[in-house]
Structure 1
Amino acid sequence: MAYYSFAYFNNKPTVTINGHVFEVDVAEEADDIERGLSGRKDLADDQAMLFIFPRKQELAFWMHGMNFNVDLLWIDGNKVLDYEKNMPAPGDNTAIRDLPRFFPSQPVDKVLEIKAGLIDLLGIKIGDSVDINID
Structure 2
Amino acid sequence: MDEPRHSTVTQTVIKWIFICGMLMVIGGAIFYAFRTVSPKTEMIYLNKTMLRAEIANDEESQRKGLSGRLGIDENYAMLFVFDHNDRHKMWMKDMKFSVDMIWINDKKRVVYVKHNVKPDAEPHEKYAPPVPAKYVLEVKAGVAKRASATVGSPVKFDLEEDK
TM over 0.5: yes
4+ residue runs over 4 A deviation: none
Task: Specify which of 52, 63, 86 is matched with residue 34 of structure 1.
Answer: 63
* Residue 12 (structure 1) shift: 3.9
Could you tell me which residue of structure 1 aligns to residue 87 of structure 2? 58
Could you tell me which residue of structure 2 aligns to residue 13 of structure 1? 42
Distance (whole Å) between structure 2 residues aligned to residue 18 and residue 57 of structure 1: 23
Could you tell me which residue of structure 1 aligns to residue 119 of structure 2? 89
Unaligned segments of structure 1, at least 5 residues: 1-10
Query: Given that residues 41 and 55 in structure 2 are in contact (C-alpha distance below 8 angstroms), is that contact kept between their aligned partners in structure 1?
Result: no
Task: Specify which of 70, 73, 77 is matched with residue 44 of structure 1.
Answer: 73
User: TM-score normalised to the size of structure 1?
Assistant: 0.84
SS of structure 2 residue aligned to 1:133: coil
* Residue 48 (structure 1) shift: 0.1
Percent identity over the alignment is 27
Which has the larger strand fraction?
1
Unaligned segments of structure 2, at least 5 residues: 1-39
* Residue 38 (structure 1) shift: 0.4
Could you tell me which residue of structure 1 aligns to residue 156 of structure 2? 131
The residue type paired with residue 104 of structure 1 is P
Name which one, 1 or 2, has greater alpha-carbon Rg: 2
SS of structure 2 residue aligned to 1:32: helix
RMSD between aligned residues = 1.3
Distance (whole Å) between structure 1 residues aligned to residue 44 and residue 105 of structure 2: 14
Query: Given that residues 101 and 136 in structure 2 are in contact (C-alpha distance below 8 angstroms), is that contact kept between their aligned partners in structure 1?
Result: yes
The residue type paired with residue 67 of structure 1 is K
Distance (whole Å) between structure 2 residues aligned to residue 124 and residue 106 of structure 1: 16
Query: Given that residues 48 and 115 in structure 1 are in contact (C-alpha distance below 8 angstroms), is that contact kept between their aligned partners in structure 2?
Result: yes
Distance (whole Å) between structure 2 residues aligned to residue 121 and residue 131 of structure 1: 17
SS of structure 2 residue aligned to 1:53: strand
Task: Specify which of 98, 118, 129 is matched with residue 143 of structure 2.
Answer: 118
Distance (whole Å) between structure 1 residues aligned to residue 126 and residue 92 of structure 2: 8
Query: Given that residues 51 and 77 in structure 2 are in contact (C-alpha distance below 8 angstroms), is that contact kept between their aligned partners in structure 1?
Result: yes
* Residue 111 (structure 1) shift: 0.4
